[in-house]
Structures are given as structure tokens and as C-alpha cells.
């Protein structure tokens, strides 16, 4: 067993027994709640309130540093391209398009590589490393083609790292507080996304042509983030851990029996017999989640349209238009943990669907006449709540349903489905926007979304109850 998979703290807590499965997590494991005795309910609550794994916090810090790095550059890149390099309008549109398209499809590939090799950390490391390299590239080049290529590579890196990282969060968390674990990670991540642009603007405020300085700071943050990941995050082996959990005796592990040896004597057999399979996609519960997430994403038109709508009527929104996304990020940051906790308590799938009601609320704010600073701020808060209730929560729903051996692929698939569907939604909404006009278009989407919500709620009933996929996974195998 790889020593790094064992968190010291957990090792001390666990009963010393032969053939216990190696944990992939940093927190206590509890047997599944089958009964509903007061004691068990109390135990469940305790599990929900248990500390979030140190691995999750470390991954959050990695994301925070990386987001400072990427968002500080993203915020000033348009200014840099147009003001410092004097590029034309269409050229900038091209950069923007590249940013959007490049990352969606790489996510599945990242998840697949993580599951297949069973080293999600190093797949994520490759993704973070790729992005860090592009920061170094920005320091060296001023050419348009070079910069657009760097932007594309950065997005590939982001796509590559997302699902392995989320699989690691799922693997190192107690299933009872998975929602909160993702909430903690997303909160730290979003702190970086809010700090990055402000840091960049402060640098440019003090040094009007300080683009190079921003790139240096960005590269520094990326390198530190990469170092924290490489040095401080354990090399989790979710598939191996799951196999060992399912094969608890020496004979099951196909090790020769011998007197007096414990099952951890002798290396873990190289797990060649674990064919990776995409069959998880056909697992009914998971398929239901993917379909519902896809349908809801088809009615998610992108907050840019909400901002444009607000801006068209409200002076406050116009003045702050370039920074509205920072407001959404701040709301997301504040709500990520509370919403994650709520998801653990009332059900993650329920919260996931309900978060889309927040989105419908944001549409309503954008659609009402006589918009003011209040509607704008309400819309930003609702969008923040929407992200808090969808992004990490979806990863938690899928991470909880999918077997550990395919978890990264399953999370990557769900995220790709959502990203592709949202892109399609934005394109289709663009058509509505021009044919019906801004306000009717947003009202239409809001109405459709509101109608879809009860259907989706119904379609996902029971998903939060531990299903067969959960029982066969190592996560809830009794650790006795």
C-alpha cells in the first residue's frame, strides 16, 4: 500500500484490524444509515459536521492560487491585447471564442486518464502544470498567434485537471459531508477568482503599463499552487482502494496463504484485472442525473446575457458592467459552504434542482422593468446561489453515485454534458434574443426553466438515498 494514501490522523482513529481497506480519505467513515434510531441520526449529524478532509482544503488552496493566477490574467488580457498590443476588435473576439470552446471536451479525457491510470493527482498536476507553463509563455511573447495559443493551452489544462481533482475530493471525503467538502473547495476556488481580477487591477492602477508585472505575479501564484499540489496532496489511488475494499482476504486478493502473515504483507497485486469501462454511463441512476443536468443546462443561458439585460436599463449595472461577474463570484464564495451543508442535510439532487430556481429568479430580475441597483444586486446574489448549488453539488451527486473506479470519468462526463449544453443554450438564446427581443427572450427561458423544475425534481427523486452503486463502492463498506 502506498504510504501516502494513509492520512495519519485517520490511521490513529481506525481500529487495528487485518485486511481493513486502505482509506482514501482523511475523515472518519461511518456505516451506512439503514436504521433511523435517534443515535444513528445523531451520528449522521456528527458526520456531517465532521472536519473536512485536509486533502480537500489543500486542493482548495491549490485552486485558490491557480485561480488568482488565471483570473488576474483573464481580467486584463483584453486590455493588454487592445491597449498594449493594439489588436483589432475581431481578433479579440477570436480569443474570447477560443477561451470558451477549448476546455469542455478535455474534461472527459482528463477523467478517463485519471481513472485508467488510477493516479488522479498526477493527471491534475499535468493540467495545473500546463496552465502554469502558459503563464511563463506570456512573459516571453507578444505575438497574437502565440497569445491565442497560450490561452487555448491554458483552457486545455483547466479541462484536464477539473475531473481528476473533483474525483480526489470525492475520494478523500466522508460521503456524509460530501456536499460541504465540495463547498469548501469551491469557496476557496472562488476566493481566488474574486481576488485575481482585483489584484490585477490594483497593479495596473499603480503601474499603468504593468502588464508584465501582473504576468510575473500570476506565474508566481501558479508555481506555488503547483508546488502545493505536488508536495502536499497525497497520491490517492481510488481504484486500488476500492479493489482492496472489495477483496478483503488474502485468498480474495489471490495472494498465497501463509501462516502468520497479515494481508498487508506482500505487495498489493498489480491490478491488471480492472478493465476500465464506460458502462457506468448506462447505470440508470447516473443516467438520470446526466439527463436532468443536461436538460437544466439547456435552459441556462449564461450570466453574460443576464448582465447585458441588466445593463441595458440600469445605470448602476452599466457603470459596473465590467465587474458584475466579480459580484457573482463574491456571492458564490459566501454561499458555497452553507449551500453545500444544506445539500448534505436535505439531499444534494434536491439542492441541485432548487438552485435552478435561483437562476429563474435571476432571469426575473433581468426581465422586470425599472431595474435598479437593487435588482442588479439581487440578480448577482441569485446567480451566486445558483453556482453554489450547482457546480460543486453536481460533482457531489455524481461522485456519490459513481463507483470509485470510474468516478473521475463520471464527474468529467457530467461536467462536459453541462458545459456543452450551456454553450448550445447560449447560442440558441442568442437567436431568441434577436428574434423576440431581449425582454421576451429572457421571460421565455425563465418560464421554460420554471416549468422544467418540478419535472426534474420528480425525475431525481430517490437519487440522494444510498443506491446500489454506493453500496458496492468502498465508501460505505463497513470499516470493521
* Site for another protein, residues 141 to 200, rule: CB under 8 A: 142, 198
CB 103 within 8 A of CB 419: yes
Shorter beta-carbon distance to another protein: residue 201 or 280: 201
17 binds another protein (CB under 8 A): no
Are 123 and 114 contacting, i.e. CB atoms less than 8 angstroms apart?
yes
Q: Least separation, in Å, of the C-beta of 6 and another protein?
A: 10
Residues 53-82 within binding reach of another protein (CB under 8 A): 74-75, 78-79, 82
* Part of the chain binding another protein (CB under 8 A), chosen from 261-269, 306-314, 366-374, 391-399: 306-314
Which is nearer to another protein, 33 or 420 (by Cβ)? 420
By C-beta, is 16 or 206 nearer to another protein? 206
State which residue, 82 or 450, has the beta carbon closest to another protein.
82
Other Cβ atoms less than 10 A from the Cβ of 179: the count is 31
Among residues 10, 54, 174, 311, the one that binds another protein under rule CB under 8 A = 311
Nearer to another protein (CB atom), residue 191 or residue 477: 191
CB-wise, 364 or 432, nearer to another protein?
432
Is residue 212 near another protein by the rule CB under 8 A?
Answer: yes
Which region, left, alpha or beta, applies to residue 62 given φ > 0 means left and ψ of -120 to 50 means alpha? alpha
CB contact at 8 A, 306 and 446: no
Which residue's CB is nearer to another protein, number 212 or number 345? 212
Nearer to another protein, 248 or 426 (CB): 426
| Spatial contact of 242 and 407, defined as CB atoms under 8 Å apart | no
C-alpha distances in angstroms, 289 versus 162, 183, 285, 301, 339? 19, 19, 6, 20, 19
CA-to-CA separations, 115 to 1, 143, 240, 412, in angstroms, rounded: 18, 38, 10, 11
In the list 28, 92, 271, 467, the residue contacting another protein (rule: CB under 8 A) is: 92
Among 109, 126, 224, 448, binds another protein (CB under 8 A): 224
The reply to whether 440 sits near another protein by the rule CB under 8 A is no
Q: Which of residues 231-250 bind another protein (CB under 8 A)?
A: 231-232
- d(CA 376, CA 355) in angstroms, rounded, equals 18
In the complex, minimum distance from the CB of residue 78 to another protein, in angstroms, rounded to a whole number = 6
Decide: is 368 part of the binding site for another protein (CB under 8 A): no
Q: Does 216 bind another protein (CB under 8 A)?
A: yes
Task: Give the C-alpha separation, 377 to 358, whole Å.
Answer: 13
The set of cell numbers assigned to 472 is: 458496492
Q: Closer to another protein at the Cβ: 324 or 342?
A: 324
Least distance CB 452 / another protein (angstroms): 18
Residues with Cβ < 8 Å from 324, sequence gap 6 or more? Answer: 303, 307, 310, 311, 317, 376, 380
The count of residues interacting with another protein (CB under 8 A) is 71
Least separation in angstroms between residue 249's CB and another protein is 29
CA distance 128 to 189: 14
Decide: is 308 part of the binding site for another protein (CB under 8 A).
Answer: yes
Nearer to another protein, 106 or 228 (CB): 228
The least CB distance from residue 474 to another protein, in Å, is 24
Q: CA 363, 377, 319, 78 torsion: positive or negative?
A: negative
Site for another protein in 262-291 (CB under 8 A): none
Please give the full DSSP string across 313-371, using - where no structure is assigned.
H-HHHHHTGGGHHHHHHHHHHHHHHHHHHHHHHH-HHHHHHHHHHHHHHHHHHHHSSS-
Which residues, in sequence order, are CB contacts of 476 under 8 Å at separation 6+? 29, 31, 32, 175, 466, 470
Considering only residues 373 through 432, tell me which ones interact with another protein, judged by CB under 8 A.
419, 422-423, 425-427, 430-431
Q: Decide if residue 103 touches another protein (CB under 8 A).
A: yes
Amino acid at each position: 500500500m502506498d504510504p501516502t494514501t494513509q492520512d495519519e490522523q485517520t490511521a490513529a482513529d481506525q481500529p487495528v484490524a487485518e485486511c481493513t481497506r486502505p482509506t482514501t480519505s482523511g475523515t472518519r467513515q461511518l456505516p451506512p444509515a439503514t436504521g433511523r434510531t435517534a443515535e444513528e441520526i445523531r451520528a449522521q449529524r456528527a458526520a456531517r459536521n465532521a472536519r473536512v478532509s485536509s486533502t480537500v482544503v489543500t486542493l482548495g488552496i491549490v485552486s485558490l492560487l491557480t485561480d488568482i493566477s488565471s483570473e488576474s490574467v483573464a481580467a486584463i488580457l483584453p486590455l493588454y491585447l487592445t491597449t498594449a498590443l493594439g489588436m483589432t476588435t475581431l481578433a479579440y473576439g477570436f480569443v474570447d471564442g477560443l477561451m470558451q470552446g477549448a476546455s469542455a471536451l478535455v474534461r472527459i479525457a482528463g477523467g478517463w486518464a485519471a481513472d485508467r491510470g488510477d493516479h488522479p493527482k498526477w493527471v491534475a498536476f499535468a493540467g495545473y502544470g500546463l496552465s502554469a507553463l502558459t503563464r511563463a509563455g506570456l512573459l516571453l511573447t507578444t505575438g497574437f498567434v502565440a497569445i491565442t495559443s497560450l490561452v487555448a493551452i491554458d483552457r486545455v489544462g483547466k479541462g484536464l485537471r477539473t475531473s481528476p481533482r473533483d474525483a480526489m475530493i470525492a475520494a478523500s471525503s466522508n460521503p456524509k459531508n460530501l456536499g460541504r467538502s465540495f463547498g469548501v473547495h469551491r469557496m476557496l476556488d472562488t476566493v481566488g477568482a474574486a481576488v485575481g481580477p482585483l489584484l490585477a487591477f490594483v497593479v495596473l492602477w499603480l503601474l499603468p503599463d504593468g502588464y508584465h508585472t501582473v504576468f510575473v505575479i500570476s506565474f508566481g501564484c501558479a508555481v506555488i499552487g503547483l508546488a502545493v499540489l505536488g508536495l502536499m496532496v497525497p497520491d490517492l489511488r481510488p481504484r486500488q482502494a476500492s479493489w482492496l475494499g472489495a477483496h478483503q482476504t488474502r485468498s480474495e486478493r489471490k495472494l498465497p496463504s501463509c501462516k502468520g502473515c497479515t494481508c498487508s504483507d506482500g505487495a498489493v497485486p498489480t491490478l491488471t484485472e480492472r478493465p476500465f469501462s464506460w458502462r457506468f454511463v448506462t447505470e440508470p441512476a447516473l443516467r438520470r442525473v446526466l439527463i436532468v443536468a443536461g436538460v437544466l443546462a439547456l435552459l441556462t443561458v449564461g450570466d453574460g446575457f443576464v448582465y447585458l439585460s441588466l445593463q441595458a436599463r440600469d445605470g448602476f449595472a452599466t457603470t459596473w458592467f465590467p465587474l458584475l461577474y466579480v459580484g457573482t463570484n463574491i456571492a458564490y464564495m459566501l454561499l458555497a459552504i452553507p449551500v453545500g451543508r444544506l445539500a448534505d442535510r436535505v439531499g444534494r439532487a434536491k439542492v441541485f434542482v432548487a438552485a435552478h430556481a435561483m437562476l429563474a429568479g435571476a432571469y426575473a430580475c433581468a426581465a422586470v422593468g425599472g431595474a435598479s441597483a437593487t435588482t442588479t444586486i439581487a440578480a448577482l446574489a441569485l446567480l451566486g446561489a445558483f453556482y453554489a448549488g450547482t457546480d460543486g453539488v453536481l460533482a457531489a451527486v455524481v461522485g456519490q453515485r459513481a463507483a470509485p473506479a470510474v468516478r473521475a470519468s463520471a464527474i468529467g462526463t457530467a461536467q462536459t454534458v453541462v458545459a456543452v449544453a450551456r454553450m448550445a443554450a447560449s447560442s440558441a438564446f442568442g437567436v431568441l434574443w434577436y428574434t423576440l427581443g431581449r425582454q421576451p427572450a429572457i421571460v421565455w427561458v425563465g418560464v421554460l426553466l420554471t416549468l422544467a423544475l418540478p419535472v426534474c425534481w420528480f425525475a431525481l427523486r430517490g437519487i440522494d438515498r444510498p443506491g446500489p452503486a454506493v453500496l458496492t463502492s468502498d465508501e460505505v463498506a463497513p470499516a470493521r
